[in-house]
Amino acid sequence: MTAAVRTTCPYCGVGCGVLASRDAAGRVHIAGDPDHPANRGRLCVKGAALGETLGNDGRLLAPRVGGREVSWDRALDLIAARFSETIAAHGPDSVALYVSGQLLTEDYYVANKLMKGFIGSANIDTNSRLCMASSVAGHRRAFGSDTVPGQYEDLEEADLVVLVGSNLAWCHPVLHQRLLAAKAARGTKIVVIDPRRTATCEGADLHLALAPGADGHLFNLLLCHLFDHGRFSAEFLPRLTGADAAVAAARTSRAEDTGLSPADLDRFLELWAGTQKVVTVYSQGINQSDTGTDKVNAILNCHLATGRIGRPGMGPFSVTGQPNAMGGREVGGLVNMLACHLELENPGHRAAVQGFWASPRMADRPGLKAVDMFRAVEEGRIKALWILHTNPAVTMPEADRVARAIAACDFVAASDIWPDTDTARLAHVLLPATGWGEKDGTVTNSERMISRQRAFLPAPGLARPDWWQLAQVAQRMGFQGFDWAGPGEIFDEYARLSAVAAEQGSDFDISGLAGAEYDTLPPVTWPHGRSTRRRFFGDGRFHTPDGRGRMIPISARLPAHATEAHPFRLNTGRIRDQWHTMTRTGLAPRLSQHLAEPYLELHPKDAQRLGLASATLAEVESPQGRAILRVLVSDRVAPGHPFAPMHWTGQTAPTGRIDALVPGLCDPVSGQPASKSAAVAIRPFPARWYGFAVAREDLTPDCDYWAKGRVAGGLQVELAGSSLPEDWSAWASALFGGTAPAMALSDPARGVHRFAFTEGGQLTGALFVSPDPVRLSRGHLADLLGRGAADALAGRPGADRPDPGPTVCACLNVGLNTILDAIHNRGILSVEALGTALGAGANCGSCRPELAALLQGQGRREAAE
């Protein structure tokens, strides 16, 4: 075994430390870093499965132009020439970079320097716009800077933690585990505010199923309650402006706007008002709204007014979605920021950065935010676009429109590790990037902690780091100051720039890290320069011109009413075991077993009214697009407000691309899209048949609906169609590349057909067709791949081998049927006892909320087959 390399998980904003090592066979072993302050050795199931996502099959290994492999020189020269020509003909704003919270800070720094300091345009935006922009805007309005005031340990020191618009259990699992451990140790009260009853609710003392979008009203009511009960801080108020106006505006919110019972509302108001040590954690449920910035400020107003900020166990806390969303914010990755929290529109800040960079042409006005950027691409105003490590043809609102705009753009380059993402397929030039495990740099997590990401694998083929690609293009465009030997030199320059920024009054100061030993840099929280204070604003000093915090008057409003044509409001979000567009997590079979296909979670009343049963398919349509999704009937969502996860792409489920349904409606301050309230119509999909297949090799189904997921021996595919093939045997044969089935079982009268494909007596594939949703043991069939095929057409294990059912605990591979059997037939009554008996929930803990729900008789019973 090689010595373990200390690095950082590439998924969520918790920023867990990881130890990566390789055994003699080259297999990667992953463990949580016990010395990393963010996770202290813990990992969630996604982090624990990182070693299973590192294969190079299908990687982009050489630059490509027009689909043909070329040298790096040819590809880089072409990008530099096309960008230079476009700028010469149409000006700097005719080109753009669209980047990602997956980039390391050093990559971000180079991209930002190139665009803002040398090309002279601020047309560089990031997919963090879809995630955190409303928090950034809210922070800047209230604090004068985009500064997270507190630390994770505040969640452990608080007496009350309010989680609003945050499914922490699934989206930031290790932080949730830390919170639950604190609750067990000291009795922390937890309140979850969410229209959905998510997994996070299982550990909560109170779940407030708020009316969707009513968060601003709720925190306005809280502000009035705090004022009316004398809870404003006399000590802190002189350090603030706008308190009277904020209270006056808050008076327009009414209790009935929240959709909460008077008792629940009072309980929350009194709990918050009566608890000094309160942390309010918020995330995408707040940010992804056309009033997201106002919602953020409604929360901040309450913490400011009571002085509950920047002190141990107190403060508002936005948790970031991506591993380096925070690093991107710090380094100026958004169109309206300069590096080190300096402001693009401040002439003094611009001059300071320009002097430091010796730049020829500084951008002097904000560029186009993500939605506007792709509209400009569509309209031909942006003619050359470089997309790095993100997949906007899937993840942007109006994804179909964005895909068409990219396809029609004069020139598109994409840096990625895969050549066949929905976006990479549209690019003229593809640049092979290094992936996690091969990259060196830094990331910043949600609590301002900078951690090293270290390479422990060689870069495959000709793959090169993003910072190198950007610096090479900059040099080929004739720019000076891009000749770093490695990311350590970039970080050093960044740290020195932060000293300049600190002189301008910026809080982002890491000048103490300039000249530091980069290779061995331990996790460090900023500021780390003249100041090393751990929390901000508890001293009443803000970064506004007058040094006072700003309370913002919020006139809260609910989302527009649904229309007759589109009567449902679709909520979107993440699931526990997948990440973004599954380009990494989709490679780990065990991560595909928890929720294996795109689905629509629908309240029973809606399902009954629409004539939709669980496991059938629904057609979901908005003015922007259409999807076909598996129905999951559940009272965890509110009537009229279904939920669908956002991970599936053209490669994994072409009719499951949820952002094709989402409109490009944005918050006017932050430019963040409202991704959680798309107006949609829902109707049954007229399936004439349903199918399920397993296959050792990839296959491309020709039918209305399919969704693929990895299994250990290949893949599994869900299928459906609205018309029946004339000959099922021929259709099955075509699905498996023209191979004739080795075994078949057909009952045409019942519409049931089963086929098995073999090679040397071993199962290479199987197809099951039925007029109703196919009921069989999917895990059993997947396990048969590559083994003897004799019993394959039975679709189930023999009576002597119980079917474990769909996976609940992905670490220990414990299925739903096994857990239900333990609860109902073995009398197991606690999560801990399930862990002892079955191992479920005893490793990373990510499934513990689901186990708790099953113990309470809730959860996915209907999916047991």
Q: Where on the chain is the footprint of ligand SF4 (CB under 6 A)?
A: 9, 11-12, 14-16, 39, 43-44, 46-47, 172-174
Instruction: Please identify, using beta-carbon distances, which residue of 45 and 674 lies nearer to ligand SF4.
Output: 45
Instruction: Please identify, using beta-carbon distances, which residue of 32 and 527 lies nearer to ligand SF4.
Output: 32
- Per-residue HEC secondary structure of 792-828 comes to HHHCCCCCCCCCCCCEEECCCCEEHHHHHHHHHHCCC
> What does the alpha-carbon distance between residue 748 and residue 532 come to, in Å, rounded to a whole number?
74
Helices (H) and strands (E) in the chain, counts: 25, 34
Looking at 61-103, which runs of residues are DSSP E strands? Answer: 64-65, 68-69, 95-99
Instruction: Please identify, using beta-carbon distances, which residue of 9 and 426 lies nearer to ligand SF4.
Output: 9
Instruction: Please identify, using beta-carbon distances, which residue of 321 and 540 lies nearer to ligand SF4.
Output: 321
Q: DSSP assignment, residue 754?
A: E
> What does the alpha-carbon distance between residue 700 and residue 693 come to, in Å, rounded to a whole number?
12
Instruction: Please identify, using beta-carbon distances, which residue of 173 and 259 lies nearer to ligand SF4.
Output: 173
Residue 662 beta carbon to ligand SF4: minimum distance, rounded to whole angstroms: 24
Among residues 294, 300, 329, which one has the least CA distance to residue 314?
300
Residue 103 beta carbon to ligand SF4: minimum distance, rounded to whole angstroms: 16
Tell me which amino acid residue 164 is: V
Measured from each CB, the residue nearest to ligand SF4 is: 47
> What does the alpha-carbon distance between residue 461 and residue 561 come to, in Å, rounded to a whole number?
53
CB 42 within 8 A of CB 177: yes
Report the Cα–Cα distance between both ends of the chain, in Å, rounded. 41
Residue 9 beta carbon to ligand SF4: minimum distance, rounded to whole angstroms: 3
Within 10 A of 206 (CB to CB), how many other CB atoms are there? Answer: 15
Residue 579 beta carbon to ligand SF4: minimum distance, rounded to whole angstroms: 7
Instruction: Please identify, using beta-carbon distances, which residue of 630 and 848 lies nearer to ligand SF4.
Output: 848
CB 152 within 8 A of CB 270: no
Residue 177 beta carbon to ligand SF4: minimum distance, rounded to whole angstroms: 8
DSSP for 825-844?
A: HS---SHHHHHHHH-TTSSS
| The two structure tokens encoding residue 369 | 């935010």
431's enclosing H/E stretch is strand 429-432
Instruction: Please identify, using beta-carbon distances, which residue of 46 and 550 lies nearer to ligand SF4.
Output: 46
Cβ partners under 8 Å of residue 379, min gap 6: none
| The two structure tokens encoding residue 788 | 């003897």
Rg (CA), the chain: 27
Instruction: Please identify, using beta-carbon distances, which residue of 14 and 852 lies nearer to ligand SF4.
Output: 14
Instruction: Please identify, using beta-carbon distances, which residue of 40 and 239 lies nearer to ligand SF4.
Output: 40
Within 10 A of 484 (CB to CB), how many other CB atoms are there? Answer: 18
CB 393 within 8 A of CB 402: yes
SS3 of residue 136 by DSSP: helix
Q: DSSP assignment, residue 314?
A: B
Residue 14 beta carbon to ligand SF4: minimum distance, rounded to whole angstroms: 4
Q: What's the sign of the alpha-carbon dihedral 582, 587, 591, 594?
A: positive
Instruction: Please identify, using beta-carbon distances, which residue of 163 and 678 lies nearer to ligand SF4.
Output: 163
Tell me which amino acid residue 578 is: Q
> What does the alpha-carbon distance between residue 61 and residue 435 come to, in Å, rounded to a whole number?
11
Residue 181 beta carbon to ligand SF4: minimum distance, rounded to whole angstroms: 14
Residue 301 beta carbon to ligand SF4: minimum distance, rounded to whole angstroms: 30
Residue 15 beta carbon to ligand SF4: minimum distance, rounded to whole angstroms: 6
Instruction: Please identify, using beta-carbon distances, which residue of 9 and 732 lies nearer to ligand SF4.
Output: 9
CB 829 within 8 A of CB 810: no
Q: Is the N-terminal amide bond of 668 cis, ω within 30° of 0? A: no
Residue 843 beta carbon to ligand SF4: minimum distance, rounded to whole angstroms: 12
Instruction: Please identify, using beta-carbon distances, which residue of 455 and 497 lies nearer to ligand SF4.
Output: 455
Residue 171 beta carbon to ligand SF4: minimum distance, rounded to whole angstroms: 8
Residue 156 beta carbon to ligand SF4: minimum distance, rounded to whole angstroms: 16
Instruction: Please identify, using beta-carbon distances, which residue of 172 and 528 lies nearer to ligand SF4.
Output: 172
Residue 577 beta carbon to ligand SF4: minimum distance, rounded to whole angstroms: 10
